[in-house]
Structure 1
Amino acid sequence: MARETLWQRLRGWVVPDRRMATPPRDEPSGSTRVADSLRALLDDPTIPAAVRSELAGEFARIEAMLDRLERGELHVAVFGRVSTGKSALGNALLGRDAFTVGVLHGTTTDADHAVLDEAQHDGLVLIDTPGINELDGEAREKLAFDVAEVSDLVVFVGDGDLTREELDALKTLAATQRPLLLALNKADRYGADELADLLAHLRQRVAGLVRAEDVLAVAARPAPQRLVEVDAHGHEHVREQARAPDVAALRERLLAIAQREGKTLSAINAGLHAGRLTDQVSARIAETRKSVAAKLIHNYCIAKGVAVALNPIPVADLLAAAGLDAAMVVQLSRVYGLPLTRAESGRLVAVISAQLAALMGAIWGMQLVASALKGVSAGLSVVLTAAAQGALGWYATVLIGRAAERYLVAGKSWGEAGAKRAVADVVASLDRDSILREAREEILRRLKSRRA
């Protein structure tokens, strides 16, 4: 069975049962629930101001989506290759010249939108986009995809059989799970049989991307009709008569979609963006917490390194170090919003330390030897062993802190690989020589300042 897409899950949430025309009296509709979730995201007091500032554009977009959801608007992107008549089609649907139309490539250089006059009560909004194959127009192509992404429905405009570039773009758009309509523009260039054959061919090529009933022929700016008139003297005169656009089938299809499921599509699209913004916010907050956690671990490294170096009692320095590690893990758990008790912290430190001992037995053996030397070196150990032992304590704190951080970031779970894999990954990711050198230099500096 194919994996359910986020769009499908949201659609099931917004419209939980198609047999139920309206929700129960006391139960909010799907679009109302989405609107409530958007407001909750916009008003969330736990989001730091710095994160809001960094993602200001995304928050503004969610606010705009909430406004249009409350207004019941359905945003439709008119998309396609340069010179297929996208802007002309938008104007024909509107019945007025809202979009710029030109004969040169790249006339549309920015996105624009206008309310469809005949459908204001349905809130149908058209968005014109730049051509996707504009020469040196990568920025405009990106803009076109961005506009399609924030639209609820896409009308892809072609003027013949699809090129490879057009088909690839259509596949990309289909992957966004937006409903797609394919409009074959300039249909007036074909005879009836030729047009029928071309539509059948297009429906076959886009099968699985666009429903057959959503492949429609239009003529946004039909070529003028040539009329031959004979005057009273028998002379023939040729004149051209403009023809009205033929977009009725597409307009009716859009209006039907807007009336039947416009709010559903708008709610789903808004929900998708809210989900992405929530992920971005979570990532930024996690990044912020990581910087705070890094400072916390560094401070405990200094405290432990100096405490181990100065403690003259064998083995007691190691016990004191274990207490500092447990206190550090408690503080880390508060930084990540997953508080641990002192007992839980101690058990976590024990698990991590056991894995470290299995991986780095030689280093911990050196730690015990250095501790024992303090009892027989008549104070000279401060110079001979304290800095080295303190540096090893510093390094152990870094390892324990990073491993505990990984445990907390994972939601207080080691994951499938367990603590052994997590600790091994942390050990492999750190430059031990660099950390030990930094630790020794810092501890020696502090020891010398204390002796002075």
Structure 2
Amino acid sequence: MKPTSIWQRLRSRFAREPARTDDGGAHSDQAAQSLRALLDDPQIPTAVRSGLAADFARLESMLGKLERGELHIAVFGRVSVGKSALANALLGEDAFTVGVLHGTTREAGQRRWQEVAGGGVHLIDTPGIDELDGEARERLAYDVAGVSDLVVFVVDGDMTQRERDALATLARTERPLLLALNKADRYGEDERERLLERLRERAAGLVRTDDVVAIAAQPAAQKRVRVAADGSEQAELVEQPPDLAALRTRLLAVLEREGRTLAALNASLFAGRVADQVGARIAEARRELAATVIRQYCVAKALAVALNPIPVADLLAAGALDAALVMHLGRVYGLPLTKTEAGTLIAVITAQLAALMGAIWGVHLVASALKGLSAGVSTVVTAGAQGALAWYATELVGRAAERYLVAGKSWGELGPKRVVADIVASLDRDSILREAREEILRRLRTRTA
């Protein structure tokens, strides 16, 4: 499904009901509730909130925008195509800087559109998208598009490839787009129509045909001959009013039909993206914490097995640590396990491991027996080998339990046999055993030193 399909379905629905005005109050209320729920969610860790501070600040801003009934229209385009002139012409005042030098607009500016002030519509002028003063300003322009409800993309001739790419990027932000051919007064009627047709072809799939219009935000002054009372003639330049009728008609039509719904959908889409990021951050934090927990239990179990002088009895202690590990992982993933549940889960995992790795557990039992009959260095070496196997077994149990918890206490369609087999195949047994043996021997030597 294309990213713009949501907007296309929305606008098609309104197009089938031309007499209907926007009834987005319910949508705005729903969107506001979703934003507030995300902002106030007590389950989001402080570290995740801090890492996404800018996004949460934007959520606060969008919530205020919804509650105030505001709509934001961003004006985009290359440097000096007349973006600020267009915004000023719509406002009816010189609110934004207009100049012939590249980069006149250095940061996004916002003003209330007085003509439809009752609707709380705001215009946002942005820096040029091509020759920006560094990547920061370019990011600023796209960030503004991300929180705008509608975007007017301004060109002053046939689109360049850079403009076409920028238009495609803006289309991926899932905002309705209007394409305005500015400085149309420079062209004759036939040339202007051919150029509009060319723009519609270049923007196909990105902008609706009806939303490609010609305007003149700051028309060139026209020469006029004035005849004085004495019959003498004098040439003068007469300023011309902006010609924005086509764009104004399209803007007001969209705002009247879809205004509050556009704002609500925009806010909901952004909240959804933030929620996905929150979920990803929480999942990553849980994975990192789970890895730390599993390693801690690997060390504890390996040492418990290596230091226990009674043959086979160390395996019983290892089982208790496995149960504690599984219950600890349940708390990490917010899915607490009872002792009975933990015992059942371990039984399932170990049964699958025994079927897959019976030879390893046989060596484990032999090492357990040898340890009680050995002394001195041989005991340390044997204990190190047995502890390394215990470490590896704990790693497998922990990873299998983690997979079960991530799936919501379920083995999924694959079942425990396939899940455990996949985990065994994914772990490098030799490197784990080598690391475990080195760590165990280091700790044993430290204890005997």
Query: What's the TM-score, normalizing by structure 1?
Result: 0.88
Percent identity reads 67
Return the letter of the residue paired with 2:266.
Answer: N
- The answer to whether the Cα contact below 8 Å between 2:215 and 2:247 also exists between their aligned partners in 1 is yes
2:323 to 318, 326, 332: 326
- How far off its partner does 1:8 sit? 5.7
Structure 1: how far apart are the matches of 2:342 and 2:5?
Answer: 37
Q: Secondary structure, in 3 states, of the residue corresponding to 1:209?
A: coil
Matched, 1:35 2:32: yes
Q: In structure 2, what is the equivalent of residue 179 of structure 1?
A: 176
Q: What's the offset of the Cα at 1:236? A: 4.9
Paired residues of 2:178 and 2:207 also in contact (CA < 8 A): yes
Which sits farther off after the overlay, 66-75 or 408-417?
A: 408-417
Aligned with residue 346 of structure 2, among 342, 346, 349: 349
Cα pair 2:22 2:259 within 8 Å, conserved: no
Tell me which amino acid in the other structure corresponds to 2:262: L
Q: Deviations over 1:62-99 (max 9, x none)?
A: 00000010111111110112221111101111111111
1:387 is aligned, of 380, 384, 387, to 384
Q: By how many angstroms is 1:131 displaced?
A: 1.4
RMSD, matched Cα:
3.3
Output the amino acid matched with 2:300.
A
What displacement does 1:317 show? 2.5
| Equivalent residues of 1:73, 1:122 under 8 A apart | yes
Closer, same or farther: CA 8–427 of 1 in aligned 2, 3 Å: farther
CA 1:78/1:4 → structure 2, altered by over 3 Å: closer, same or farther?
Answer: closer
In 2, Cα distance between the equivalents of 1:4 and 1:161?
25
The answer to whether 1:237 aligns with 2:261 is: no
Asked if the contact 2:305–2:387 (Cα under 8 Å) also holds between the matched residues in 1, the reply is yes
**1:236 & 1:429 partners in 2: Cα distance?**
92
Q: Does the CA-based 8 Å contact 1:7-1:272 persist in structure 2? A: no
- Asked whether 1:109 is paired with 2:109, we answer no
1:150 to 139, 147, 151: 147
For 2:404, the equivalent position in structure 1 comes to 407
Which aligned pairs between 1:88-99 and structure 2 lie closer than 5 A? 88-99=85-96
Q: Which residue of structure 2 aligns with residue 277 of structure 1?
A: 274
Does the CA contact (< 8 Å) of 2:49 and 2:56 recur in 1? Answer: yes
Q: Which amino acid aligns with 2:239?
A: A
Tell me the distance in 2 between the aligned counterparts of 1:50 and 1:112: 32
State the SS of the aligned residue for 2:99.
coil
C-alpha distance 398-11 of structure 1, shift in aligned 2 (>3 A): farther
Q: Check whether the contact 2:110–2:124 (CA below 8 A) recurs between aligned residues.
A: yes
- Partner of 2:57 in structure 1? 60
Show the counterpart of 1:220.
Answer: 217
The 1-side partners of 2:392 and 2:44 are apart by: 33
What are the superposed Cα offsets for residues 147-202 of structure 1, whole Å, 9 maximum, x if unpaired? Answer: 11111111111112222222222222222221111111111112222222322332
Determine the structure 2 residue equivalent to 1:251. Answer: 248
Asked if 2 retains the 8 angstrom alpha-carbon contact of 1:158 and 1:183, the reply is yes
Q: Distance in 2 between matches of 1:313 and 1:160?
A: 87
Deviates more, 1:334-343 or 1:175-184: 334-343
Picking from 207, 221, 225, the partner of 1:210 is 207
1:170 pairs with 153, 164, 167, which one? 167
Q: Aligned-pair distance for 1:408?
A: 1.8
Offset of residue 263 of structure 1: 1.0
CA deviation after TM superposition for structure 1 residue 244, in Å: 0.8
Deviation, 1:119, is 1.2
Contact residue 7 and residue 175 of structure 2 kept, 8 A = no
One-letter identity of the residue aligned with 1:66 = L
Match of 1:154, SS state, is strand
Letter in 2 for 1:371: S
Report the alpha carbon displacement of residue 305 of structure 1 after superposing the two structures with TM: 0.9
Q: Number of aligned pairs?
A: 447
Mapped partners of 1:339, 1:53: distance in 2:
26
Amino acid in the other structure paired with 1:71: R
- In 1, are the aligned partners of 2:404 and 2:410 still within 8 Å (CA)? yes
Aligned to 2:190: 193
Q: Conserved in 2, the CA contact under 8 Å of 1:122 and 1:255?
A: no
Residues 65 and 334 (structure 1 numbering): CA distance in 2 closer, same or farther, change over 3 Å? same
CA distance in 1, matches of 2:7, 2:254: 18
For structure 1, the residue ranges without an aligned partner over 5 or more in a row are none
Cα distance in 2 for partners of 1:200, 1:411 equals 55
* CA–CA distance in structure 1, aligned partners of residues 225 and 134 of structure 2: 44
- CA deviation profile, 1:300-354 (whole Å, cap 9, x unmatched): 1122112212334443322432332122111101110012233332333333334
Work out which of the residue numbers 130, 134, 138 in structure 2 matches 1:133: 130
Paired with 1:294 and 1:282, the residues of 2 have a C-alpha distance of 18
